């Protein structure tokens, strides 16, 4: 009898020690060895507490290498603005053909986004980025050596597929390796590097021929492939695949050799185990009541991000300046000069002001800029204030692109990486990314046609008045809807 009591006492102590190892923050235990809080509550509390987790050189390096893929994305987005005049002249492309070339990047992004979650889950975050660059490198080479519209479109489509995969895997990778107190700033660096790529191509696109410009876009892709071999895989993905030893090794490398990573490793493993108990959620099961709130936020933000017209303004910025009577070379250079500092400001303040405050400020500035641009084209059609309309055009385009870069461009991706539970992250992330690219394609394909319609409307002044009044109301509705969703 005494021996049996001794064995029971030893088993109870062992159970308590395991419990304490898994949940070291929980210092109150019942005598039976059970916590007053559920395991989910304890893990959530531990995840929200970074403790002494510091930002190491390895985290900085891994983040920088990852967001270098966003720099490649920015190069692709900025290419169509600087190359438009040269391509349409050399290959004799019509407005419809160049609109297809410019917008097919987003169509490729849509294709890549459909498979982005599953590819990142099967290959891992690091190898998925390598997979992306295979598409990007091939696409840039096809564009650089294209002799007709078909080769241009094929190259741009391949580039878009790589960009679509990047748009999902980069924010997820950074969110999984960065400590919580800097996660927002680090994920926002994704948008910062994308702006750097756009700015670079806006500037050099004024001087380089379009084939050489495509060759320049090829170079950072090759460098990115080389750098990816020096960063670790995501510890959360390794834990999900049952590779605990590699998970701990990657986590130790990220947190520093002198840091005890046992607590964080246990939390990651327990989070994965609870997610596996809940089971992987398919696309059809995603539309349940319990996932409704994060789904509406994630999809709604991506929907409104594209309907703001930001993609069209970035892809065809030079056309907007020319239409408004402002020198396109000067306009794109000014945008490039201001865009990067504004994005850097957003990176600094995102974790200080909070996601919602920065989003609302960005949406307000975008709405005002879009209204100013609509008024500028309206005045130009009626010959009102001919000396001021080019300035209004410059301020409108500049304000819209810069305010987008400061908040609305990167914050939806940060929120997408943070709000979804682990068991729905793949399906929900895929749906959100597909929504973004689908409406991005609609906007970029129709943008030039809308611009042509605007010019042809000068033959009937009353139609132009109605059209611009419609645009004013539409931009205002988009801005108001953004703010209502955020509230």
DSSP line for 27-75 = --B-TTS-BSS-HHHHHHHHHT--TT----HHHHHHHHHHHHHHHHHHH
- Out of 231, 247, 273, pick the residue that ends a domain: 231
Q: Look at residue 242 and give its three-state secondary structure.
A: coil
Residues 311 and 411 both lie in one domain = yes
Residues 369 and 452 both lie in one domain = yes
- Give me the pLDDT at residue 278, please: 59
Residue 257 placed within a domain: no
- Give me the pLDDT at residue 224, please: 93
**Each residue's pLDDT tens digit, 186-195:** 767 777 888 8
- Out of 197, 212, 231, pick the residue that ends a domain: 231
- Give me the pLDDT at residue 275, please: 67
CB 120 within 8 A of CB 142: no
CB 211 within 8 A of CB 382: no
| Model confidence pTM above 0.85 | no
Task: Give CA angle at 263 (260, 267), nearest 5°.
Answer: 145
Q: What is the CATH number of the domain that holds 139?
A: 1.20.1250.20
Residue 466 placed within a domain: yes
Residue 299 placed within a domain: yes
| CB crowding 7-33: b at 16 or more within 10 Å, else e | eeeeeeeeeeeebeebbeebeeeeeeb
**Each residue's pLDDT tens digit, 433-471:** 788 888 888 888 887 777 777 533 332 232 333 233 333
Residues 312 and 191 both lie in one domain = no
Quote the domain boundaries for residue 175. Answer: 56-231
Residues 189 and 325 both lie in one domain = no
Residues 102 and 219 both lie in one domain = yes
pLDDT average per 10 residues of sequence, the chain (487 residues) = 46 40 40 41 47 73 90 88 85 84 87 85 91 94 90 92 88 84 74 85 88 92 93 89 87 84 83 68 72 84 81 79 81 80 70 76 82 79 76 83 78 77 75 82 79 45 32 40 43
- Among 408, 419, 426, smallest CA distance to 183 is for 419
Residues 328 and 461 both lie in one domain = yes
- Give me the pLDDT at residue 53, please: 61
- Give me the pLDDT at residue 471, please: 37
Count of domains in the chain? 2
- Give me the pLDDT at residue 282, please: 64
Residue 51 placed within a domain: no
- Among 447, 405, 438, smallest CA distance to 102 is for 447
- Out of 231, 260, 295, pick the residue that ends a domain: 231
Residues 327 and 403 both lie in one domain = yes
- Give me the pLDDT at residue 425, please: 73
Residue 47 placed within a domain: no
Residues 208 and 329 both lie in one domain = no
- Give me the pLDDT at residue 21, please: 44
**Each residue's pLDDT tens digit, 299-308:** 888 888 888 7
Residue 262 placed within a domain: no
Residues 342 and 440 both lie in one domain = yes
Residue 221 placed within a domain: yes
Residue 43 placed within a domain: no
Cα 212 to Cα 380: distance, rounded to the nearest angstrom: 36
Residues 161 and 222 both lie in one domain = yes
Q: Report residue 399: phi and psi, to 5°.
A: -65, -40
């Amino acid at each position: 009898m005494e021996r049996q009591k001794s064995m029971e006492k030893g088993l109870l102590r062992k159970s308590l020690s395991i419990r304490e190892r898994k949940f070291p923050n929980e210092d109150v235990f019942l005598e039976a060895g059970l916590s007053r809080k559920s395991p989910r509550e304890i893990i959530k509390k531990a995840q929200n507490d970074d403790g002494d987790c510091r930002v190491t050189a390895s985290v900085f390096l891994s983040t920088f290498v990852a967001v270098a893929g966003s720099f490649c994305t920015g190069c692709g987005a900025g290419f169509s603005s600087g190359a438009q005049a040269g391509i349409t002249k050399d290959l004799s492309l019509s407005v419809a053909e160049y609109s297809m070339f410019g917008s097919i990047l987003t169509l490729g992004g849509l294709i890549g986004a459909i498979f982005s979650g599953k590819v990142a889950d099967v290959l891992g975050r690091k190898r998925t980025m390598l997979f992306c660059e295979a598409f990007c490198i091939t696409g840039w080479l096809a564009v650089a050596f294209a002799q007709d519209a078909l080769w241009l479109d094929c190259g741009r489509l391949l580039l878009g597929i790589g960009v679509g995969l990047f748009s999902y895997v980069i924010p997820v990778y950074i969110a999984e390796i960065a400590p919580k107190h800097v996660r927002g700033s680090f994920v926002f660096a994704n948008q910062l590097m994308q702006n750097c790529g756009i700015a670079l191509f806006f500037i050099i696109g004024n001087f380089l021929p379009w084939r050489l410009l495509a060759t320049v876009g090829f170079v950072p892709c090759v460098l990115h492939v080389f750098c990816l071999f020096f960063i670790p895989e995501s510890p959360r993905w390794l834990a999900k695949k049952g590779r605990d030893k590699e998970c701990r090794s990657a986590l130790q490398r990220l947190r520093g050799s002198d840091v005890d990573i046992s607590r964080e490793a246990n939390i990651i493993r327990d989070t994965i185990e609870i997610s596996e108990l809940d089971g992987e959620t398919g696309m059809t099961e995603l539309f349940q009541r319990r996932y409704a709130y994060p789904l509406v936020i994630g999809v709604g933000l991506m929907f409104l991000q594209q309907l703001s017209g930001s993609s069209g303004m970035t892809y065809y910025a030079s056309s907007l300046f020319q239409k408004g009577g402002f020198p396109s070379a000067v306009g794109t250079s000014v945008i490039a000069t201001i865009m990067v500092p504004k994005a850097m400001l957003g990176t600094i303040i995102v974790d200080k002001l909070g996601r919602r405050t920065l989003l609302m400020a960005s949406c307000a500035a975008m709405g005002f800029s879009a209204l100013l641009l609509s008024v500028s084209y309206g005045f130009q059609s009626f010959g009102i204030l001919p000396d001021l309309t080019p300035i209004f055009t410059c301020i409108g385009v500049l304000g819209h692109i810069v305010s987008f870069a400061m908040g609305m461009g990167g914050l939806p991706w940060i929120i997408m990486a943070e709000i979804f539970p682990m068991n729905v992250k793949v399906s929900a992330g895929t749906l959100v990314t597909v929504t973004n690219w689908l409406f991005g394609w609609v906007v970029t394909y129709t943008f030039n046609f809308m611009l042509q319609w605007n010019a042809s409307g000068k033959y009937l002044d009353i139609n132009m008045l109605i059209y611009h009044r419609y645009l004013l109301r539409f931009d205002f509705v988009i801005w108001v809807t953004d703010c209502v969703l955020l509230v």
